[in-house]
Structures are given as C-alpha cells and as structure tokens.
Amino acid sequence: MIKSSDTATAVAGMYRLYISVIILLPFVSWKTLQISGITRKEWFTVLLAGLFLGLHFLFWMESLVHTSVASSMVILSLQPLFVMIGSYFMFRERNSLLTISCLITALIGSIIIAWGDLGISREAILGDGLSLLGTILVSAYMLAGQKVSRKINSNFYSILVFFLGGTVMLVYCLFDHIPLVGYRSSDWTYFFLLAIIPTIFGQNIFNLLLKTIGATTVSVGIIGEPVLAIILAYLFLGETISAFQLAGGLITLLGMGMYFWIRSSSHIVVKQEWI
C-alpha cells in the first residue's frame, strides 16, 4: 500500500497512527485508565516507546520510496537479532544454541531473498539505510514494550504509543511544511487501511503478545513478513519473484517453523529481570 501511494509517507504514517487511536478508544474502559503502581521511570519508558515507534515509521516507510519492498522488508527482518541481543542485556533472557541456529537460518533466508537487490543503485542504498535505522528503532520499541507490558493494559498501551508516535510524525510534517489536509478520498481510504490492517491487526497484536511470549519471539514471527510482502508485491505491484527470493523464502519459513516448534515443545519459562 505504501509503494502504491503518492502521499507523503510522514502524513500517511501520522494518520495511520491517529486513526488507530480513534478505533481503539471504544475498547478501553474507564476502569483500565485508573492505573496505579506505575513509576515515573515506567511512564518515561512508555514515552520512549512512542518516540521510537514514530521514528521507526518515519524512516522505514520512507525507505520504501527509495528501494524495493523485498530489500526493505528483509532488512526489517533483522529485528529479532537486535531484540535478542537487547533482551539478553536488559532481561537476562537466554536462548539455547538450537533456537539461535533456527533464527540464523531464517535470517539467512531473508538475506538470500534480498541478494538480487544489493548494491543496485545509490538510491537503493539510501533506502536500505533508512530501513536499517527503522529496524533498530522498532527493536528498541519492542524492548520498551516488554518492559511495561505487565503493568499496562495492552489496548491502552497501544493508544498511548500510537498517539505519541503520530505526534512525532505530526511535528515532522509541520517542520517540513508537508500539507495535513486537502487529500483525496482515495488517500483517506489508504490511511484507513493502513490503520486497520498493519496497525490494529499488526502492531496492536504485537503489543498484546509482548506480555505472554516476549519481544524476541514476537520479532521472530515478523521475519515472515518479507515472504508475504514479496508475494503481495508480485500480485499488486508487478515486482518479479526471482529464484533467490523463492529459495530464500522457503529457508526463512523453515527457520521460523523450527524456532517456534522448539520453543513450544521445550516449555521454557524465561525469567526477566530489568537491570
């Protein structure tokens, strides 16, 4: 959807998050808002999470203007690697050598998918760089979410970080003199679809899962995004699927499947500690 629209990505990201807030509001009760036991440090963590999310969308959505869906999505699939490293230092979360091997297998598949796009132009390098920045920021966002996930209702947390992230993009739009109004009905349909599909049924579900399975496992699931994105880009944008992408997609799915099978069969309880 981002690739097929001419709307400025900052505006699309802003309305994507603000519309998501409006949709989620009816699902949060007043009782949920009466939160106690939240420290200033934890509220600051929520503030950082919103900042990270807004900057993630700002950089990553813009990357799609300069590079292919496959290349940008594959770089985004590095997210679980960054989250796993962060989880080790922040929560003392340890993974077995076998689960790490499965993660690496999935990442290798992602690299194979993007092999044909590497170094094709200066503009593609710019897009890949923006995607990498966005990936680092969303990894920080996931770790911050895991820190406070047991203290705040997931829908309320989503409302907070979506509003903060949208405000980050609003500030950018005002600073860069990007128009906020005057868009066509087709553009508003695009904003609404971005809010519903990848935000309400994407980011919001991720926030819900952080409480039970943790940021690392949630991030591993995201590795599958490039495979689906490449298929959709082939169907709707006319982008081709190369032999590298096909082979890489199969390897990615194999690594993901093995990772989830090992995690579910071992019944490992991860102890989390904040340093």
Query: Is 100 part of a structural domain of the chain?
Result: no
Residue 220 located in a structural domain: no
pTM assigned to the model: 0.81
Q: 79 is in which domain, residue-wise?
A: 9-95+118-212
Looking at the chain, the whole-number percentage of residues with pLDDT higher than 90 is 31
- What is the pLDDT at residue 120? 56
Q: Report the distance separating Cα 13 and Cα 50, nearest Å.
A: 13
What contacts 208, CB < 8 A, 6 or more positions away?
154, 155
Structure confidence by residue, pLDDT tens digits, 46-83: 999 999 999 999 998 888 887 777 677 777 778 888 88
No. of helices (H) and no. of strands (E), the chain: 12, 0
Q: Flag whether pLDDT at 240 surpasses 80.
A: no
Average pLDDT, the chain: 83
Tokens found for residue 272: 């989390």
Distance (Å, rounded) from C-alpha 213 to C-alpha 234?
32
Work out whether the CA dihedral 108, 110, 116, 119 comes out positive or negative: negative
User: Does residue 48 fall inside a structural domain?
Assistant: yes
**Given this model, what pLDDT does residue 194 score?**
93
Calpha distance 81→106 (Å, rounded): 11
Total residues belonging to the chain: 275
Please give the tally of structural domains in the chain: 1
**Residue 95: phi, psi to the nearest 5?**
-120, 150
Q: What confidence category does residue 168 fall into, taking pLDDT thresholds of 50, 70 and 90?
A: very high
pLDDT at 119 over 60: no
**Contact at 8 Å (CB) between 199 and 16?**
yes
Domain assignment of residue 16, yes or no: yes
118 — pLDDT class (breaks 50, 70, 90): low
Tell me whether residue 207 is in a domain. yes
- Residue 24: inside a domain, yes or no? yes
How far apart are alpha carbons 260 and 6 in whole angstroms?
38
**Predicted pLDDT at 272:** 45
Q: Which residues contact 25 (CB under 8 A, 6 or more apart)?
A: 159
Q: What is the mean pLDDT of residues 3-20?
A: 90
What does DSSP assign to residue 67? Answer: S
Residue 203 lies inside a defined structural domain of this protein: yes
Structure tokens at 185: 């009905």
Q: What DSSP letter does each residue of 126-165 carry, written as one string?
A: HHHHHHHHHHHHHHHHHHHHHHHTTTS-HHHHHHHHHHHH
Residue type, 60: W
**pLDDT at residue 275 is higher than 70:** no
Confidence of residue 252 (pLDDT cuts 50, 70, 90): confident
Whole-number percent of the chain with pLDDT over 70: 89
